[in-house]
Amino acid sequence: MKKNKILIVCILLSIFLLTGCWDSMSIDRRAFVLGLGIDKYIFDETKDEPSLNTHWTKYRIAFSIPNISKFAGEQGLTDEPKFVLVSTGPTFSNTYKGVGGRLNKVPYFGHVKSIVFGSELLKDKVLFKEVLDTLQRNSEFSRSIPIVAIDGAADEAIKAVPQSNPLLSIYINQLIESNKSETLQFKKKDLGELLQNFQEDKMTMIPKLTVGEKDIKIAGAAIIKDYELKGWLDERETRGALWIQKRNQRFEVSAPYEDFHVAYHVSNAKSKIKFGNKEDELSCHIDIQAEGNLDEFILDKSILSTKEIKKVEEAIAKVIKDEVLNSLKILQEKYQADVIGLGKELERQHPKEWLKVKDNWEEVFEHLPISVNVNIFIRRVGQSK
Amino acid sequence: MFSKNDKVSIRQVEILLILDLTSTSVLSFPRTAAEIANQDAWIILIGATLLAFLFGYIITRVTKRFPGDTFVEISSKVLSKPVGILLSILFLGKLSITMAMELRIFGELVKQVLLPRTPIEVIMASMLLICSYLVRKGYECKARLGEILIFIIFIPLVIILLFVLPDTDFSNLKPFLTTPLPQLLKGSYFLAFLYTPMEFILMAGPLINNPKKAGRITFTAIGFVGVLNVVLAIITIGVLGAMGTRQQIWPVMTLMQIIEIPGAFVERQDVLMMIFWILSVFSFISTLMYFISFIITRILKADEHCFLVLPLVPVLYLISLIPDNIVEAFNWIEFLVKYFRILFLLPIPLLILIVARLRKLGESIEEK
């Protein structure tokens, strides 16, 4: 009997003593930050408080928090789909912790869906490094968050409301996910990959975000070298660079043929990079191979002859080759930025050669003779002959 | 088997050893390996595993030669009593510091990732208390728990690793073998510290119900853990790249953040990895605690280890709080690894074996 009593006391005690812990927090006390727009703070006399004009305010960060009760279909107090807070502060962490003073909930970053970097931040080497360090050190930020860059202010982008999904950060995430193997306009870059690029190659490309009136677009890329923005690639230039990098893609190419344009759907493309070394001069050869269908051809003209197909194939190949050469030229001459990973490929294929050129790879890359060969195969031509 | 509470079967020892071997540094060892050999890290892990087979072979030879004796008695018999006691105390000290540091790192990681507002003292104290509860119940009880834990830990772990595979870029492993051979050998020797828990076998002699088959233990356990380690290293470097692996304190945790389990609602898979890690650390810390109390029992020639467990708790707890921060704790472990790692794995067992053979002690090699 006595034993039973002790047991009961133990059970009761555990009920009272073991409920919750220091870290217990109910879910409605948390503000789930879905998107971050990080930018350098630039004092604007017309709008900002004069007290902000010190060297202590260096960041301007926009946080996008969804109105959960609206999405749950409850009658909330407001009708806004999301709230955007813009905060400033001396360090990145200080800024985002500082939001706590303005928010009735605890900000939580485990569900961040995308991060937008403003162009001013990307131009500032020190600040950008600080941001990347925080994102890497803090375990709340997942390494699979997609990163985009905007040529403008990041908080403006976060405030934008795309029509089909007012939550911009989720919209960006979905857009990138559903297009990642269907387009050559951009290449998905997530936080982990970004950090890895900087550590290994010192340079990278970040997809470029453009915000319109009621929609957004991700196309093109920012070239970042040694934590500093060097410039932007437009859509066509990005395409050319991505032909070399991407694999197993599906996308469209159009090429002028006779008086018309023909459309070609690539169902599988691959590129091979080879290096030659003649008389101590390094050269590079890129072999691109693509196969796919001819989607559009010329009405009333028969394509059912091998000769005709060869001619169309050549026309398409020429367009692609031009695109690739154009991008390579820009990367080599304008930016000296090997964002397509030729250096890495050289290291993997010829580690000894790489050791020789490793220290002045930028110069070597600038003058590296690169030849491009494109092979196109048309496998199917559609229903009409 | 259930009635006598301190004999375990060979299979159970294998399981316990596998648990202990994985827990020590499963979250961080790819970093150490990548620091030494970049993308060739997995090669030095193979080397380390081969080296561990050698350790295992020698240690089990010692145990087989003196069935029913622990390290304390063996060393006293073979190397004279004072030397034996001295070595045992050294062994005891090493285990205690290892355990305290393991506990500290456990606390730091849990605080950082899971419970940022809970005081680290509470995290560590609760771990210690629950371990001491298990240890008081004896080795057999631990073994039975191990038999349950191993399925909870390894089956989900393997499934999760499968989900990482699509993200793995095996070209990150190129170029092969650029690290010079001496560096590879040095790295293998260094990384053999992953297999330090092998030394428990020195103590486990009287606990195994069939010591003659002890050789099998090391073979299975090291083989299993070796394969797991090599695979983990390959995957980590494949996903994070050699440089990225070097940058992370806990690369395997980072790995877990990257994967996306299709259809799962869990956003932070790193927590899953934490669960498995906590379970195996629990197993490891309690094993250490068991052997610490067991050595003391044997040195004092006491009958039972139960009454020793609770007094140990505050001592170990205090040791674990000595380092100021995690960097210092890592330095302590590095110190241990540098000077004591190999001691009980190779030189001392080998010495015992040679001296025992010369003095014709123990059961001489009977296999003929």
DSSP string spanning B291-358? HHHHHHHHHHT-S-SHHHHHHHHHHHHHHHH-SSSHHHHHHHHHHHHHHHTTTTTTHHHHHHHHHHHH
DSSP state for residue B174 in the 8-state scheme: P
How far apart CA B339 and CA B336 sit, in angstroms, is: 6
**Degrees to nearest 5, angle at CA B325 with B321 and B327:** 125
**pLDDT digits over A338-363, tens only?**
888 888 888 888 888 888 888 888 88
> Of the candidates B118, B240, B270, which has its C-beta nearest A23's C-beta?
B118
Nearest in space to A103 (alpha carbons), one of A65, A72, A51: A65
HEC readout, A309-358: HHHHHHHHHHHHHHHHHHHHHHHHHHHCCCCCCHHHHHHHHCHHHHHHHH
Phi and psi based region of residue A152 (left: phi greater than 0; alpha: psi -120 to 50; beta: remaining): left
Task: Count CB neighbours of A19 within 10 A.
Answer: 8
Instruction: Assess contact for B336 and B329: CB atoms under 8 A.
Output: no
Are residues B240 and A192, on separate chains, in Cβ contact within 8 Å? Answer: yes
Q: Characterize the bridge pairing of strands A59-66 and A82-89.
A: antiparallel
Q: Characterize the bridge pairing of strands A114-118 and A106-108.
A: unpaired
Using the Cβ of B118 and the Cβ atoms of chain A, whether some distance falls under 8 Å is answered with: yes
Are residues A22 and B117, on separate chains, in Cβ contact within 8 Å? Answer: yes
How far apart CA A108 and CA A141 sit, in angstroms, is: 10
Distance from A198 to chain B by nearest Cα, in Å? 10
What is the pLDDT confidence band of residue A365, given thresholds at 50, 70 and 90? confident
Task: Count CB neighbours of B49 within 10 A.
Answer: 21
Query: For residue A246, what pLDDT is reported?
Result: 66
Q: Which of residues 172-191 of B touch A (CB under 8 A)?
A: 174-175, 178
Using the Cβ of B363 and the Cβ atoms of chain A, whether some distance falls under 8 Å is answered with: no
**pLDDT digits over A70-126, tens only?**
777 766 667 777 888 888 888 877 777 777 677 778 888 888 888 999 988 899 888
Query: Of A46 and A196, which is predicted with more confidence?
Result: A196
Which chain A residues have a beta carbon less than 8 Å from that of B118?
21-23
Distance from B326 to chain A by nearest Cα, in Å? 14
The dihedral built from the CA positions of residue A99, A105, A110 and A113, taken in this order, carries a sign that is negative
How far apart CA B223 and CA B231 sit, in angstroms, is: 12
Tokens coding A330: 């820009």
Are residues A142 and B268, on separate chains, in Cβ contact within 8 Å? Answer: yes
Which chain B residues have a beta carbon less than 8 Å from that of A200?
241-244
Tokens coding A281: 């001069």
How far apart CA B334 and CA B344 sit, in angstroms, is: 16
Residue B309 has pLDDT above 70, yes or no: yes
> Of the candidates A21, A110, A142, which has its C-beta nearest B115's C-beta?
A21
Mean residue pLDDT of chain B comes to 82
**pLDDT digits over A215-249, tens only?**
888 888 899 988 888 889 888 888 888 888 766 67
DSSP state for residue B344 in the 8-state scheme: T
Are residues A200 and B243, on separate chains, in Cβ contact within 8 Å? Answer: yes
Residues in chain A whose beta carbon is closer than 8 A to a beta carbon of chain B?
A: 21-23, 110-111, 136, 139, 142-144, 192, 195-196, 199-200, 347-349, 351
Residue type, A44: D
**Degrees to nearest 5, angle at CA B107 with B310 and B188:** 100
Give the bridge partners for A263, in sequence order: A254, A296
How far apart CA A133 and CA A169 sit, in angstroms, is: 22
Using the Cβ of B260 and the Cβ atoms of chain A, whether some distance falls under 8 Å is answered with: yes
Instruction: Assess contact for B278 and B106: CB atoms under 8 A.
Output: yes
**pLDDT digits over A308-348, tens only?**
888 888 888 998 899 889 988 888 888 888 888 888 888 88
Are residues B117 and A143, on separate chains, in Cβ contact within 8 Å? Answer: no
CA B217 to chain centre: 14
| Maximum C-alpha span of chain B | 66
Query: Of A286 and B257, which is predicted with more confidence?
Result: A286
Nearest in space to B48 (alpha carbons), one of B243, B227, B285: B227
Nearest in space to B131 (alpha carbons), one of B17, B243, B293, B333: B293
Instruction: Assess contact for B164 and B29: CB atoms under 8 A.
Output: no
Three-class SS state of B313 = helix
Tokens coding B240: 């994070």
Tokens coding B33: 């390996």
Supply the angle between the helices B306-321 and B81-113 in degrees, to the nearest 10: 60
Query: For residue B4, what pLDDT is reported?
Result: 52
Distance from B24 to chain A by nearest Cα, in Å? 21
- Ramachandran angles phi, psi of B66, nearest 5°: -120, 70
Using the Cβ of B215 and the Cβ atoms of chain A, whether some distance falls under 8 Å is answered with: no
**Degrees to nearest 5, angle at CA A329 with A324 and A331:** 95
* A:B CB pairs within 8 Å: 59
Residue type, A63: F
Confidence (pTM): 0.79
Of A281-285, B181-185, B213-217, B278-282, give the lowest mean pLDDT range: B213-217
DSSP state for residue B130 in the 8-state scheme: H
Order the strands of the A203-211 sheet from edge to edge.
Answer: A82-89, A59-66, A35-40, A114-118, A147-150, A203-211, A216-225, A228-233
How far apart CA A222 and CA A117 sit, in angstroms, is: 10
Task: Count CB neighbours of A187 within 10 A.
Answer: 19
Are residues B119 and A22, on separate chains, in Cβ contact within 8 Å? Answer: yes
Search chain A and give the residue with CA nearest B126.
A18
Search chain B and give the residue with CA nearest A196.
B244
Residue B2 has pLDDT above 50, yes or no: no
User: In whole angstroms, how far apart are CA B187 and each of A197, A210, B49, B190, B340?
Assistant: 26, 49, 12, 5, 17
Search chain A and give the residue with CA nearest B179.
A351
How far apart CA B324 and CA A158 sit, in angstroms, is: 42
Are residues B115 and A110, on separate chains, in Cβ contact within 8 Å? Answer: no
Query: For residue A117, what pLDDT is reported?
Result: 92
How far apart CA A168 and CA A175 sit, in angstroms, is: 10
Using the Cβ of B264 and the Cβ atoms of chain A, whether some distance falls under 8 Å is answered with: no
Residue A375 has pLDDT above 60, yes or no: yes
Q: Characterize the bridge pairing of strands A281-296 and A114-118.
A: unpaired
How far apart CA B158 and CA B242 sit, in angstroms, is: 22
Three-class SS state of B7 = coil
Residue B273 has pLDDT above 70, yes or no: yes
Which chain B residues have a beta carbon less than 8 Å from that of A136?
247
How far apart CA B61 and CA B56 sit, in angstroms, is: 8
Distance from A369 to chain B by nearest Cα, in Å? 24
Using the Cβ of B171 and the Cβ atoms of chain A, whether some distance falls under 8 Å is answered with: yes
**pLDDT digits over A31-60, tens only?**
888 888 998 888 777 777 777 777 778 888
Q: What is the rounded average pLDDT of the residues B104-117? A: 84
Residues 6+ apart with CB under 8 A from B175: A347, A348, A349, A351, B39
Distance from B35 to chain A by nearest Cα, in Å? 14
